[in-house]
Amino acid sequence: MAHARLTAAERGDRRFAVLASAPAVLTIAALFIYPLLYAVLLSLYQLNDKMPKATKYVGLGNYAQLLSDPDFTDALVRTLVFCLFTVLGGVAIAVGIAVLLQPAFRGRNLARVLLLVPWAVPPVVNGIMWKLVFDGSYGVANAVLRELGIIDHPIQWLADPTLTMGVLIMSEIWKLTPFLALMTIASMQAIPSNIYRAAEIDGAGPWSRFWRVTLPNLRGTIMFLLIVQSMWSIKVFDTIYVLTGGSGGPAKATTTLNFQAYLTTFSYLDRGYGAAQSISIMVIVIVVTLLWVLILGRKGKAAS
């Protein structure tokens, strides 16, 4: 069957659509596609600014080096631990906050507005704030604990590897959870109220209604939150830089994958290997995203 020929007006509309979208397409190409292709190209070279004459094409050699690099594998483990707490813990806390702020009560709107405050704080300011709170000499945390009689001498929070990671996890959850909670609240408002009334008539209690009504209807939202929080957690940088003074310490305790790529590229000046680490992080983000989609999507089909 032959396609009808376009009229002059229709051809004009198509040309206008192409011209109108061209600036956005060119901007995306300039800000995303070109840097990505350049990073991929860099990752195929041994390119260290400390030894410019030793530059050479190594193909996948930088990627093979990742498998035997203890710094990279250690950073990967730290990132997994960090994500375990910030992603699962952050989403769980966000859902809990949403459940508390969903029913109508006096001051609910004010509580929702105040919930936005941590999210509105810039990442650098967030890092500075928590660094001041947990400073070993004059931090608020030590002052409060000493007043309560829990400790009798200051704790060096940011000098202990385990405690520093705990502070980092706490600061990220504090900053990112409000956004997750607001997204959950918006999704809960879209759940028909007659479903809750029918469940209550059938004798379902608050926990049963949450488990059998609220959670199934939030499946898509929770999948989105897990994906977004995973991306943010894997690429965390600002807070680590501020908390540790740009070292990723103490003893590399907070050097996650993204920070390791930064150190490799800008501290060790190994741009080729740093590019390979950055591309690997991108691949990890894509894989984690697909895993969440497959896991929750499969559970959703099984439930239906």
Is pLDDT at 9 greater than 80 in this prediction? no
Q: Is the pLDDT of residue 7 over 80?
A: no
Contact by Cβ (8 Å): 90, 180: yes
User: Does an H or E element contain 88, and which?
Assistant: none
Looking at the predicted structure, is the pLDDT value of residue 2 above 60?
A: no
What is the number of alpha carbons within 13 Å of residue 295 lying toward its C-beta?
11
DSSP result, 270-286? BHHHHHHHHHHHHHHHH
pLDDT reported for residue 301:
53
pLDDT at 298 over 70: no
Q: Output the pLDDT for position 4.
A: 61
Query: pLDDT tens across 267-285, in order?
Result: 999 999 999 999 999 999 9
Given a cut of 80, is residue 112 above it in pLDDT?
Answer: yes
Residue with the bigger pLDDT between 16 and 165: it is 165
Domains parsed from the chain with CATH numbers: 61-303 (1.10.3720.10)
**Contact present, 193 and 209 (Cβ < 8 Å):** no
pLDDT band at residue 3 using 50, 70 and 90 as cut-offs? low
SS3 call for 139: coil
Confidence of residue 189 (pLDDT cuts 50, 70, 90): confident
Percent of the chain with pLDDT over 70: 96
pLDDT, tens digit, 9 for 90 and up, residues 211-251: 888 888 888 889 999 999 999 999 899 999 999 888 888 88
